[in-house]
Amino acid sequence: MAGDPIIRLRDVEKSYGPASAPARVLRGVSLEVGSGEFVALMGESGSGKSTLLNIVGALDVADRGHVEVAGVRYGEAKERALARLRNVDIGFVFQAFNLIEHLTCLDNVCLPASFSRGKSPAEVQERGKEVLGRVGLADVAGRKPGTLSGGQKQRVAIARALFQRPRILLCDEPTGNLDSHTGGEVIEFFRELNERDGVTLVIVTHEQRISSAAERIVSIRDGVIEDESAGAPAAKEAAST
């Protein structure tokens, strides 16, 4: 079901703190994610999940190892190429939403257009409304994020991540701040996105529901990948064959 790897990590290492006494957070992680795959990244708190996701998303830099995402080799790429990758090919969804409070929801959603060319202002607005509609929030376009519920905020953040039609969506505990019902809606949305649009999903989560929706579960412990297991759909597939 998964295509060619769109994310390749080999022997990735990352430490924090002073060089004399480094805290080794990632100790040689190798991972491949196929195009259109839905991967859940699980592990205890402090195991290095966010660090790994940030490195994949070019928000952080690995100390050692090889990272290649959507054909861009991070070690050799220029800053502009990485920024373009984040702008166009990768969408981020954070646990804390990270919306800009003084912009309207529509402006928040359209923000990625600030860093790319080709769309007229009208086209940008139109696309913004389209993605807001896609997450079911067409009616909040003119409101500031401060007036929204947590679930609505996260959907606005997802709309922003989808604005440029990314091939990869990286989510760091996207349901961590949501109640179980709204969390469920968001998970359903992700699943649909993956199945209908073929968006590659890597989601850091503690939630059983997400991991059971994923094709593959990658467990990480103390900075190394401990275990990879097939998620629910794959298991289902496996069971049916």
Partner 1 sequence: MIAPGKLARLVATNALSNRRRLALHTFGLVVGIASFAFFLSLSMSVRSVFLEEIFPLDEVEVVAPRVGAADVDARDALNDDVVNEIRQHPDVKEAVPRMAMAFPASGAAMFMGQRMPFEAGGFADGVDPAYVADEDFADRFVDWEAEEHEREACGPPPERECGDHYYCDQRDNTCHKRVPIVVSRTLVELYNTQFAPSHGLPPIDEALEGMLASMLRLEIGLGETMFAAAMTGGESPPRQVEGMVVGISDKAMPIGVTVPIGYMERWNREFVGDEAAEVYSSIEVVLEGREAVAPFAGWVQDELDLSLADRQGERFATAIFIVTALFVMISLVIVTIAAINIAHSFFLQVSERKRELGVLRAIGGTRGDIRTLVLAEAALIGVIGGLLGVAAARVGAAAVDFAAHRWMPAFPFKPDSFFLFEWWIVAGGIACAVVFAVLGGLFPAGRAANMPPAQALSQD
Return residues touching partner 1 (CB under 8 A).
50-51, 54, 57, 59-61, 79-80, 83-84, 86-88, 92, 94-96, 98, 100, 102-103, 107, 111-117, 160
Which residue, 78 or 196, is less far from partner 1 as judged by CB? 78
Tell whether residue 205 is a contact of Mg ion (CB under 5 A): no
Least distance to partner 1 from the beta carbon of 239, Å? 39
The 3-state secondary structure of 46-77 reads: CCCHHHHHHHHCCCCCCCEEEEEECCEECCCC
Interaction between residue 95 and Mg ion (CB under 5 A): no
Cβ closer to ligand ATP: 51 or 154?
51
Q: Which is nearer to ligand ATP, 94 or 163 (CB)?
A: 94
Calpha distance 106→10 (Å, rounded): 39
Which three-class secondary structure string do you get for 116-128? CCCCCHHHHHHHH
Q: Report the alpha-carbon distance of residue 228 to residue 93 in Å, rounded.
A: 23
Q: Which does 229 bind (CB under 5 to 8 A by kind): Mg ion, partner 1, ligand ATP, none?
A: none
Closest residue by Cα to residue 51 from 62, 35, 42, 40: 62
* Amino acid code (one letter) for 29: V
Rule CB under 6 A: which of 62-121 touch ligand ATP?
A: none
Task: Report the interface residues with Mg ion, using CB under 5 A.
Answer: 50
